[in-house]
Amino acid sequence: MSCHTVARAEDPPAASSRRTVAVVGPPNSGKTTLYNRLTGLRQKVGNFPGVTVEHHIGYLRDANGDEVALIDLPGIYSLVPRSEDERVAVDVLHGAMPGMPRPDGVIVVLNSNNLNTHLVLAARVIALGLPTLVLLNMADELHKQNGAVDVLALARQLGTAVALVSATTGLGLEAVTNFLAASSPAPEPLELPVLGSTRSVREWAVRASENANYRRPATPVWTTRLDNIFLHRTWGPVIFAGVVIAVFQMIFVAGKPLQDLLQRFLDATGAWVGPMMPDGLLRSLVINGVWKGTGSVLVFLPQILLLFLVIGILEDSGYLARAAVIADRTMSRVGLNGKSFIPLLSAYACAVPAIMATRTIESKRDRLATILIAPFMTCSARLPVYTMVIAAFLPSQPVLGPFLNTRAAAMLGLYVLGFLMAVLTARLLKSTVLKSKDAPFILEMPPYRWPRLSSLGMRLVDRGKAFLYRAGTVIMLVSLLLWAATNFPMHNGQPPAIQDSVVASVGHAIEPVIRPLGFDWKIGVGLVTSLAAREVIIATLGTLNGIDVASHSLDLQNALLHELTLPGAVALLVFFAFAMQCMSTLAVVRRETNSWKWPAVQFAYMTVVAYVAAFAAYRIAGYFIH
Amino acid sequence: MELKMIFNFIFRRKPHRHSDSSALADLPVGVRAIVQELQLDHPIAEHLMNLGFIPGLEVSVERSGPGGDPRVYRVEGTEVAIRRELSRHIHVSLVGAPAFGD
């Protein structure tokens, strides 16, 4: 008899209507890989109402050819509703989640290499009384490391169907379609110590696996060997620094040109399609509204996909957990943990993929804190603004011999400024609203594995789709609003000059507020349009001054000299260092926290900080210059 | 060794106390010990127990992070990195003389 035979009681005939089956399992059980293997691309992401927890619904056909909906629940260790993840899983399994019927069955995914620990969760789930299939995943690793288990005996112990499977090789997965085809009976009430303490359930688990002749596999030698290097006192940090530099380079050196290329392509297609349409409002709407809006969504994709490719490789290989251990000591000084390091680092390229990357942080509070401070990191969209203003106001003079001139020093100063504000905000958050006494740094270290192309690909598709559908729609909407604000009110069917548009009125309206910072209404208009993306302020100031920025950037620098005083320029730089001038980031924060609350808080906080700091900078600079 | 542990574990025998219990954070790398008590708030203790830090089970200090903190511990098949601020509150007794028959 093969070892992955499904042991099950008699099969009653399958139900005719589409059934839903929930998939649960602890983190590091390979649940997601298994889920992706079963449903492939036939899945969609959703959020449960009122919580940040995300779930996937995917479809597959059972052995009878009937379609079954599989719900992927968050990775959990127990059914004691302690965290948001566990509360969601418990609610779904009890049928208490609004808008989701109680599932018709449960598939519990366990790591067969760690059976004693993982059977504790299985016992809790079986006790719910739903038809249950227990999958012992990673059978390939179990066999390779000389482990063994008798599934039939274990099925007798658990009173449910049990199968030994491997999500990576596909071994034994027919057990799932067979299970789905049969409306299996609810598990017979066993002497499961379901109401007992974790300790008593664990004792039962040890007995059950003993009775199933479970032989725990040996620790993979390679994991120990690699850890000797990657967590070595000296080599560990050196390799870590190398990986960090590689990630950074990848996003900047490969991501930025890809982004520029895509932007040029979108501009070119717009310029190509434009003349085919009659001149007028419709053409303007299509080219400058819809197409530009599409462009401002799509330009993020190269960076998002690249970052998730890199993070996917780091996470699937097991290195991400080691990197977190190495970065933890430094990050703990600002009240965060090691897992925040990579997302914060990638925020130097762009906050949008960085905020999406925070999902590797298990602690909800640490994740939120990381999301809230990420936009303070100097992203690449700030660079054109910094470059333009610095070049206009600061003559290039050597500061530290040939190594550093005044302009580079100013740029460096702005980087440091953003970083310091991020640290300060993290401290503030972690000592007040996001204090996380209940979620200290506890991190399971998975063994090293080769990342699988299919799993990396699924992740990219998943993240790309999530960004386009959820954040993309918001970005598109704001782009259209900005388009409307610059194209109305119309005069004789013609869009107005920007000086007469709605956005100019907004600029005039906010002028009294920004006057104390040394900004006039034109800068005000730039602040509004830069919500689309920070660098848009340059093009706007160009239009307002009748200058083509692409060919006459020196003219714009001269125009800026008339527009702003030197203290005003300093204030503008400080304002851009701190302000949340990016609707795409706000859209992504909304998408990742599943509420408007946090993006609103973040926008308000960053704007206030930027305003106060710019005001202070204006006054201090004014004092020294006079 | 393995069997003895399971035996102790199932029959709730107090493992042999070599000396007074000490904190997991104080053990040097490479040492094995038996978990005695988790003096931590319930949710954290529960989370550690779900990972395998259950009184009566063996834990070993696998390695230390480059800065000495956090450190990596092994319980059965699981390796877990924990900061010292937490492992200070996990009380253990050293694995010493035979546990039963004495």
Locus of tokens 């305003």: A611
Q: Phi and psi (nearest 5°) for A238?
A: -65, -50
Return the axis-axis angle of helices A406-431 and A382-393, rounded to nearest 10°: 130
| CB spacing of A443 vs B9 below 8 angstroms | no
A277-318 residue pLDDT tens: 777 777 778 877 788 778 777 877 887 888 889 888 998 899
In a 3-state reduction of DSSP, which class is residue A442? strand
Query: How many structural domains compose chain A?
Result: 1
C-alpha to C-alpha distances, A442 to A136, A263, A543, B58, B87, nearest whole angstrom: 24, 42, 54, 18, 10
- Amino acid at position A418, single letter: G
Report CA A454 to chain centroid distance, whole Å. Answer: 20
Domain B2-94 has CATH 1.10.760.10: no
- The per-residue pLDDT for A227 is 93
| CB spacing of B51 vs A207 below 8 angstroms | no
Q: How many CB atoms lie within 10 A of CB A284?
A: 17
Confirm if A539 and A530 have CB atoms less than 8 A apart: no
Confirm if B73 and B23 have CB atoms less than 8 A apart: no
Q: DSSP string of chain B?
A: -HHHHHHHHHTTPPPP--SS-EEGGGSPTT-EEEEEEE-S-HHHHHHHHHHT--TTSEEEEEEE-TTS-SEEEEETTEEEEE-HHHHTTEEEEE--S-SS--
Q: B-chain residues within 8 Å CB-CB of A80?
A: 46
Predicted ipTM?
Answer: 0.79
Over chain A, what is the mean pLDDT?
A: 84
Whether the per-residue pLDDT at B62 is higher than 70: the answer is yes
Whether the per-residue pLDDT at A119 is higher than 60: the answer is yes
Q: Which of A113, A236, A438 sits opposite B66 (nearest CB)?
A: A236
Question: Is residue A550 included in any domain, yes or no?
Answer: no
Whether the per-residue pLDDT at A330 is higher than 70: the answer is yes
Measured CA to CA, the distance from residue A525 to residue A504 in angstroms comes to 6
- H or E element that contains A301: helix A301-317
- Best interface-test mutation with A: which of B47, B62, B90 has the largest number of A CBs within 10 A? B47
Question: Is residue A415 included in any domain, yes or no?
Answer: no
Name the pLDDT band for A32 (thresholds 50, 70, 90). Answer: confident
| CB spacing of B79 vs A445 below 8 angstroms | yes
What is the pTM (predicted TM-score) of this model?
A: 0.80
CATH number of the domain encompassing residue A99: 3.40.50.300
Alpha helices in A133-220 (DSSP H): 139-144, 151-158, 174-181, 198-211
- The per-residue pLDDT for A240 is 92
Strand-pairing partners, residue A54, are A47
Alpha helices in A250-300 (DSSP H): 256-273, 281-284, 292-298
Terminal-to-terminal C-alpha distance of chain A: 91
Confirm if A310 and A247 have CB atoms less than 8 A apart: yes
Measured CA to CA, the distance from residue A613 to residue A396 in angstroms comes to 25
Measured CA to CA, the distance from residue A589 to residue A471 in angstroms comes to 9
Residue-range definition of the domain harbouring residue A73: 19-217
CA angle A333–A334–A340, rounded 5-degree value: 105
Question: Is residue A62 included in any domain, yes or no?
Answer: yes
Residues 9-68 of B with CB under 8 A from A: 9-10, 41, 43-44, 46-52, 54-56, 62-67
A397-437 residue pLDDT tens: 877 766 678 888 888 899 899 999 999 999 888 888 777 65
Q: Which of A78, A117, A325 sits opposite B70 (nearest CB)?
A: A325
| CB spacing of B41 vs A237 below 8 angstroms | no
A531-575 residue pLDDT tens: 878 888 887 887 777 776 666 777 888 888 888 889 999 999 999
Closest alpha carbon within chain A to B41: A438
Buried/exposed code over A322-337 (b: 16+ C-beta within 10 A; e: otherwise): bbbbbbbbebbebbbb
Q: Does A123 touch chain B (CB under 8 A)?
A: no
- The per-residue pLDDT for A372 is 94
A156-184 residue pLDDT tens: 888 889 999 999 888 999 989 888 887 66
| Rounded CA Rg of chain B | 13
Q: Sheet holding A19-24: strands in order across?
A: A43-47, A54-61, A67-72, A19-24, A105-111, A132-137, A161-164
Q: Does B76 touch chain A (CB under 8 A)?
A: yes
- The per-residue pLDDT for A8 is 41
Locus of tokens 């204006």: A618
Q: What is the mean pLDDT of residues A60-81?
A: 86
Confirm if A538 and A385 have CB atoms less than 8 A apart: yes
Q: Phi and psi (nearest 5°) for A288?
A: -85, -20
Buried/exposed code over A94-110 (b: 16+ C-beta within 10 A; e: otherwise): eeebeebeebbbbbbbb
Half-sphere exposure of A202 (CA within 13 A, CB side): 23
In a 3-state reduction of DSSP, which class is residue A68? strand
A341-379 residue pLDDT tens: 888 888 887 888 889 888 778 778 888 999 999 999 988
Whether the per-residue pLDDT at A80 is higher than 90: the answer is no
Q: A-chain residues within 8 Å CB-CB of B49?
A: 198-199, 202
Whether the per-residue pLDDT at A455 is higher than 60: the answer is yes
Question: Is residue A65 included in any domain, yes or no?
Answer: yes
Question: Is residue A34 included in any domain, yes or no?
Answer: yes
Q: Does A328 touch chain B (CB under 8 A)?
A: yes
Name the pLDDT band for B33 (thresholds 50, 70, 90). Answer: very high
Chain B nearest-CA distance from A34, in A, is: 20
Confirm if A442 and B86 have CB atoms less than 8 A apart: yes
Q: What is the mean pLDDT of residues A228-244?
A: 92
Structural domain spans, chain B: 2-94
Name the pLDDT band for A16 (thresholds 50, 70, 90). Answer: very low
- The per-residue pLDDT for A436 is 63
Question: Is residue A142 included in any domain, yes or no?
Answer: yes
